[in-house]
Amino acid sequence: MTEPPGAGFRARILSALRATEAEDKAAIIAELVSETADEDSGDAPLFTAGQSSEEDIEPGRPARVELVDPRDVGRRGLGSTEGRACFLHAITHIEFNAINLALDIAWRFGGMPARFQRDWLGVAADEARHFTLLNERMRALGASYGDYPAHDGLWDIARKTRHDLLSRLAMVPCVMEARGLDVTPGMIRRLRAVGDGESAELLELILREEESHVAIGINWYRRVCAERALDPRDTFFDLLSRYLPNRVQGPLNLEQRRAAGFDADWLEQLGRVTAARTG
Ligand SMILES: [Fe+2]
Ligand SMILES: [Fe+2]
């Protein structure tokens, strides 16, 4: 039997997803990115819709990282070096998960134009770089990935949306990653306030690049809505109340959300939802 087109490529995305160390993931991702870089294949898919999967994949992660209930993840003030290392550890863990999330969406959903896989592999490469930069910074502060417990909340929503690309796009890039745009400026201010300019600069770089990830997510979300003849805004709020009803909190980073592709009506409604929750 001959392999369906793209099966080998897809299997390598899965091997990156299952690799336990970030460096191994990054090496496979870099190869896959370079192989798709010049491809301009229009709407032709790398693999077909029939090669999609609802399988519950356990993504690779280092065994030394202990996963605990979100309530048991320790928090320390940013005033001490250890406190900042612990704080950066939480963000480093988010970046590790973000590598897996980008790989999972690229692997799981076939039938999309090759650009879809290329976009998400590019995001995966960014996330791997964010992970490495943060881990290096953490080392300078005397810690490394795995020194503190972490939680699995981000993978939870990936699991809940593994059956449906539209739900995945709405909940992961358009809710979880977009939330990063809201909260990161405050983190940068807090780091600057305690004199940790190096960590602050790192988060500034990450914030700029995260805007482009949200933009990629919204772009594909809108496209899938158009294919299914759904209104993007109404559908988003339906999905939000189904999957993550208590998740979005203000204040919203309106400027970067706008730049990423949220339109005025969408943001206005989001503002009302968050105001109703916090008010
Ligand atoms: Fe990132
Ligand atoms: Fe991201």
The Cα–Cα gap between 138 and 133 comes to: 9
Q: How far is the CA of 4 from the centre of ligand 2 (A)?
A: 31
How far is the C-alpha of 112 from the C-alpha of 45, rounded, in Å?
A: 5
In angstroms, what is the span from residue 182 Cα to ligand 1's centroid? 14
* Centroid of ligand 2 to alpha carbon of 1 (angstroms): 38
How far apart CA 247 and CA 166 sit, in angstroms, is 18
Identify which ligand lies nearest to the alpha carbon of 206. 1
Which two three-digit tokens encode residue 121? 């592999």
What is the predicted pLDDT for the residue at 75? Answer: 74
> pTM value?
0.95
Give the C-alpha separation, 209 to 183, whole Å: 15
Query: Cα(2) to centroid of ligand 2, in Å?
Result: 36
Cα 90 to ligand 2 centre (Å): 15
Distance from the first to the final alpha carbon of the chain? 61
Residues 28 and 16 sit within 8 Å (Cβ to Cβ): yes
Each domain of the chain, given as residue ranges in start order, spans: 7-34+73-278
Tell me what the pLDDT averaged over the chain comes to.
Answer: 92
Which amino acid appears at position 171 of this protein?
A: M
pLDDT band at 5 (very low <50, low <70, confident <90, very high): confident
Is it the case that residue 76 has pLDDT exceeding 90?
no
152 — pLDDT class (breaks 50, 70, 90): confident
- In tens, the pLDDT along 7-52 reads 899 999 999 999 999 999 999 999 999 988 766 667 888 888 889 9
- pLDDT, tens digit, for every residue of 171-203? 999 999 999 999 999 999 999 999 999 999 999
CATH annotation of 7-34+73-278: 1.20.1260
* Number of Cα atoms under 13 Å in the Cβ half of residue 15: 12
